Structure 1
């Protein structure tokens, strides 16, 4: 650990020396610097703009080329706007399938309370974007690597997307992403209504130590029940966003259809827990189980459900396909 911090400090000092030399008019070779000089191209320092952030006004590149998005949702926002980040934080070992190909050359930095500064520096970003609630404590260190924009937290991901779009000059694209998803939701809601009508649906996540039921007042449950229009069980407490329950309590919320997400399908403890659930009489006597109306859905693909447009779009396709398979010819 001490070696890593010494290496980081050394790299930062080198960066500061290079910056100081540039400020004195000394040319720094970048491999293509001579071509830039001969073509009369302006330096990056002159192609900047001023933006507002949670830390006040800062200067960033007018057209950033190497962007790092911190938190697990900012990378999705960036890609939805047509920007492939050079490094991201990741909760799962693998990217969700809808990002695996475009992010094939994107550095994974893992997820932690403190970002991997050494990895961020290695990625050589010219812009770092992060939510203030996640990265304000690390702001001073991040700004030594690249201009860092911290944005305010939002209750709705659409506002987060618009905030980022304003920073990277993609505001029209952001509105198009939002509108396209609205249209897709309407078509999906109509399809699901034709398939199951007013039959009730319960969405649960099986985690290592608990089962979580999602109501309509939280991002995930809101997406299933309000945006896709699937009827919740009537006795789910309206004041609750999500509820942690044991298997013994689950029959009290006996829905016609059960959407089941393993929080991490690669986690052996979660898989073992679910396999044990399947063998119990409590599980076998659930209405949805007896009618073969249980829908197993992805873990990492559903991880950002209700919090990012690409996850929402993927889930729409996933859930419609699952319900069509078991209900189309009833």
Structure 2
């Protein structure tokens, strides 16, 4: 382990030396070009810099960065929604969600460790790193040795996070369009769902390895289902709860007309076994939604960032509408 860190530090020093030499060479070339009275082809927007205000103070970044890394699982999606394909990302799942597989075909995967893979980052050679401060503040000094690093503040709403990123990248108008387009899509979907099920109640369940979680309307996923898509929650779901962990025995107390069911990880054998046991239980079989075939299996990689990313939200809207249309014609 000690040898590995020495290797990383030496590599970082080598990168700094090469960068310094390159910068000196560019300055010399620029002077020569100006003396000759010709335009210097290396003096482009990519070599120009600007100062931006960040959580760590003023930082000098490229005016037009070409190789951006977004740390955390959400920032790569923000970048792509702004029209930028990151050069490297942190990834929770082995494969990208379907809506990113084609555009991210050549994007490096670095895993999801809270401490980033510095060797992979150096290999990617970014010209800008963007990360949330709560995720990467502890690594800031090391990240800045690889590329200019911008830490953005933690926000309660992903829309504000997207706006913060857009401001750094001079893409404010695009961010507002992304936000408004999603609002428009939500309204269309809510109208379709209202036509399909009207005032009937909906409960969103996540089956996890050690528990069953019921999502209320006060946070992220439940908020998306009930407030943004307008599907009625159960009247007896506690108003002050964002989510509740329950046992199978308690589930009949929350007997909704429709159940949206997500396995937290479809590849986890423990979760699959837990769900199979649920399906064979008389408690499950006697639920109103089960009897009426109003259970909608959803989830996977595409639902991982639901309520935290416009791309995930867009996908989930289409997924939910298609699932309800298939069983409520």
What TM-score do you get using the length of structure 2 for normalisation? Answer: 0.93
Aligned residue for 2:11?
Answer: 11
The answer as to 2:259 corresponding to 1:258 is: yes
The answer as to 2:313 corresponding to 1:312 is: yes
Cα distance 1:124–1:46, how it changes in 2: closer, same or farther (>3 A)? closer
3-state SS, counterpart of residue 49 of structure 1: strand
- Does the CA contact (< 8 Å) of 2:46 and 2:63 recur in 1? no
Q: How does 1:47-66 map to 2 (within 5 A)?
A: 47-66=48-67
Q: Which moved more, 1:42-51 or 1:211-220?
A: 42-51
- Does the CA contact (< 8 Å) of 1:263 and 1:300 recur in 2? no
Measure the CA separation in 2 of the matches of 1:98 and 1:52.
32
Measure the CA separation in 1 of the matches of 2:12 and 2:76.
25
Cα distance 1:44–1:18, how it changes in 2: closer, same or farther (>3 A)? farther
- Does the CA contact (< 8 Å) of 2:47 and 2:63 recur in 1? no
Instruction: For residues 265-312 of structure 1, give each alpha carbon's deviation from its aligned partner in whole angstroms, at most 9, with x where no partner exists.
Output: 122221111111111111111111111000000221111111100000
Q: How does 1:156-305 map to 2 (within 5 A)?
A: 156-305=157-306
- Does the CA contact (< 8 Å) of 1:4 and 1:118 recur in 2? no
Q: Which moved more, 1:7-16 or 1:317-326?
A: 7-16
Q: How does 1:48-127 map to 2 (within 5 A)?
A: 48-127=49-128
Instruction: For residues 175-233 of structure 1, give each alpha carbon's deviation from its aligned partner in whole angstroms, at most 9, with x where no partner exists.
Output: 11111111100000000000001100000111111111110000110000000000001
- Does the CA contact (< 8 Å) of 1:204 and 1:211 recur in 2? yes
- Does the CA contact (< 8 Å) of 1:53 and 1:151 recur in 2? yes
3-state SS, counterpart of residue 301 of structure 1: helix
Measure the CA separation in 1 of the matches of 2:81 and 2:290.
37
Measure the CA separation in 2 of the matches of 1:260 and 1:249.
16
Measure the CA separation in 1 of the matches of 2:227 and 2:135.
28
Cα distance 1:188–1:8, how it changes in 2: closer, same or farther (>3 A)? same
The answer as to 2:21 corresponding to 1:21 is: yes
Q: Which runs of 5+ in 2 are unaligned?
A: 29-37
3-state SS, counterpart of residue 236 of structure 2: coil
Give how far 1:109 is off. Answer: 1.1
- Does the CA contact (< 8 Å) of 2:205 and 2:214 recur in 1? yes
Cα distance 1:299–1:45, how it changes in 2: closer, same or farther (>3 A)? closer
**RMSD across aligned positions (CA):** 1.8
- Does the CA contact (< 8 Å) of 2:130 and 2:151 recur in 1? yes
Aligned residue for 1:34?
Answer: none
Give how far 1:40 is off. Answer: 3.0
Measure the CA separation in 1 of the matches of 2:91 and 2:308.
15
Give how far 1:114 is off. Answer: 0.9
Measure the CA separation in 1 of the matches of 2:250 and 2:92.
30
Measure the CA separation in 2 of the matches of 1:108 and 1:40.
33
Give how far 1:21 is off. Answer: 2.4
Q: Which runs of 5+ in 1 are unaligned?
A: 29-36
3-state SS, counterpart of residue 204 of structure 1: strand
Aligned residue for 1:31?
Answer: none
Instruction: For residues 151-188 of structure 1, give each alpha carbon's deviation from its aligned partner in whole angstroms, at most 9, with x where no partner exists.
Output: 00111111111111111121111111111111100000
Cα distance 1:92–1:17, how it changes in 2: closer, same or farther (>3 A)? same
Measure the CA separation in 2 of the matches of 1:43 and 1:171.
23
What TM-score do you get using the length of structure 1 for normalisation? Answer: 0.93
Measure the CA separation in 2 of the matches of 1:98 and 1:43.
33
Aligned residue for 2:31?
Answer: none
The answer as to 2:154 corresponding to 1:153 is: yes
